[in-house]
Amino acid sequence: MTEPLIVARNLRKEYDDLVAVDDVSFEVAPGGSLGIVGESGSGKTTVAKMLVGLERPTAGRIEIAGTDCSVPARGWRERSRRARSLQIVFQDPYSSLDPRQSVGDALREVLVVAGLGRDRTEARARELVDLVGMPERVLGSRPSALSGGQRQRVAIARALATEPRCVILDESVAALDVSIQAQILNLLADIRERTGVAYILVSHDLAVVRHVTDDVIVMRNGAIVERGETGTVLDDPQHPYTQLLRESVPRPGWVPSAGATR
């Protein structure tokens, strides 16, 4: 068994009286893919924020590539090291890009901050738009000229720019049309195959989780209620909450009230 890339141990996050995340532990292997499933308010996004250092865990430990990342980074060296191991793609493609910055400038800035020489950034920026299946001319476009799906591709390209070992996809396809969702999911699967990047997919959408992940944890009220291989958990859920989540997915013959009552 190889050394896990990301280890979360007994993570806990409290906001005043509210316990948002309670005793959450998991591991992600290099090139692995973990789904974090749960409804709104289950704490799954808080877990993602703690992993990337946007929130400080109240208790618990986060290790990324063997180093302790439980507290927010101090100093640019540490920040840039973490930036190269873990990145995140947010849910909302409309606010996750600086509206004043062209796609090319956005990508070049990440590369320059990451310490890539200016002579190499241009080639790498072209490589990146190509990786996410966009034509090179979008390098000159402002986000306002792009559709939601295109923006999300840009956000993915930006997250991949520094060749992180893992990318967190925080509801990254939830704001997109279903057909665009499918394109982006295929793109993500394709990128994983080509680059060996690991994913942590945070989602409430079981179909999306099934499409992208190998393993899954199911969260409710801040705690993990079920975990295992994605296929097993989703086909044969053991915990009543997971069964409920599954029942709530609309399908032929589905009656709204059946899933809504507990």
Partner 1 sequence: MSVAQVATIVRTRRRSRLSHLGVIGWLALAVIVVFMFVAAFGEALAPYDPNAIDIAYSNVGPIPGHPLGFDELGRDLLSRLLVGARSSFVGPLALVALSTVAGTTLALIAAWRRGWTDATLSAGFDIAFAFPGILLAILLATLFGAGMAVAVIALTLAYTPALGRLLRATALRETGMEYVKAFRVMGYSDFRIVVRHVLPNLMPFIIAQAIVMFGYATLDLGGLSFLGLGVQPPTADWGVMVAAGAPALLQGYPMQTLAAGTCLVLAAVAFGVLGDRLARMWGVE
Q: Is 87 in the site for partner 1 (CB under 8 A)?
A: yes
| Residue (23 or 78) nearer to partner 1, CB | 78
| Residue (11 or 175) nearer to partner 1, CB | 175
| Residue (91 or 242) nearer to partner 1, CB | 91
Residue with tokens 């997109």: 176
State in angstroms the smallest separation of the CB of 66 from partner 1. Answer: 19
Q: Is 99 in the site for partner 1 (CB under 8 A)?
A: yes
- Please say whether the beta carbons of 178 and 208 come within 8 A: no
Query: Which of 6, 50, 65, 97 lies at the binding interface for partner 1 (CB under 8 A)?
Result: 97
Please state, in angstroms and rounded to a whole number, the distance separating the CA atoms of residues 55 and 46. 7
Neighbours of 77 (CB within 10 A): 9
Output the furthest CA–CA distance in the chain (Å, rounded).
60
Burial class (CB in 10 A: 0-12, 13-18, 19+), 15: exposed
Site string for partner 1, 158-187 (x = CB under 8 A): xx--x------------x------------
Q: Is 86 in the site for partner 1 (CB under 8 A)?
A: yes
Q: Is 110 in the site for partner 1 (CB under 8 A)?
A: yes
Please state, in angstroms and rounded to a whole number, the distance separating the CA atoms of residues 121 and 106. 11
| Residue (99 or 135) nearer to partner 1, CB | 99
Q: Is 65 in the site for partner 1 (CB under 8 A)?
A: no
State in angstroms the smallest separation of the CB of 80 from partner 1. Answer: 4
Burial class (CB in 10 A: 0-12, 13-18, 19+), 68: exposed
Site string for partner 1, 189-228 (x = CB under 8 A): ----------------------------------------
- Please say whether the beta carbons of 227 and 218 come within 8 A: yes
Q: Is 71 in the site for partner 1 (CB under 8 A)?
A: no
The Cα-based distances of 49 to 57, 69, 122, 243 in angstroms read: 9, 12, 31, 27
The Cα angle at residue 254 between residues 248 and 259, in degrees rounded to 5? 30
List contacts with partner 1 (CB under 8 A).
52-54, 73, 76, 79-80, 82-83, 86-88, 90-92, 94-101, 109-110, 113-114, 144, 155, 158-159, 162, 175
